[in-house]
Amino acid sequence: MAEKHEKGIKRYGVRYGRTTKKKLGHIEAQQKKAHTCPYCRYPKVSRKSAGIWHCGKCKSTFTSRAYNVTKPGAVKTEQSLEV
Ligand SMILES: [Zn+2]
């Protein structure tokens, strides 16, 4: 039975191995969902490119982690290097 976040990774077919794709699926699921803006708290933030995020509510463009948005100050150096 396929898990939820394995859905989007079917495009890779049998390539790259199971674990790699599973990890990617998890990251992509995080990246695509609506993120909450650290400035106006409105869940209207979309990802422009790696680490660049844009809020459709207050129109601010800001940097955060590459695949998800964390609150300012909550980012540890080790964490941001992990992904
Ligand atoms: Zn905002």
Return the domain boundaries, the chain.
1-33, 34-68
Q: Which two tokens stand for residue 75?
A: 């980012």
d(CA 75, CA 3): 29
Question: Ligand 1 centroid to 41 CA: how many Å?
Answer: 6
pTM: 0.56
* Rounded distance from Cα 33 to ligand 1 centre (Å): 15
Structural contact between residues 47 and 31, judged by C-beta atoms closer than 8 angstroms: yes
Mind listing the pLDDT tens digit for each residue in 13-71? Answer: 888 888 888 888 888 887 777 788 888 888 888 888 888 888 888 988 888 777 777 75
- Residue 71: DSSP 8-state: -
Which residues are near ligand 1, the ion (C-beta closer than 5 Å)?
Answer: 37, 39-40, 55, 57-58
| Cross-strand partners of 49 | 52
Span 34-68 CATH architecture = Single Sheet (2.20)
Which class for 24: exposed (0-12), middle (13-18), buried (19 or more C-beta within 10 A)? middle
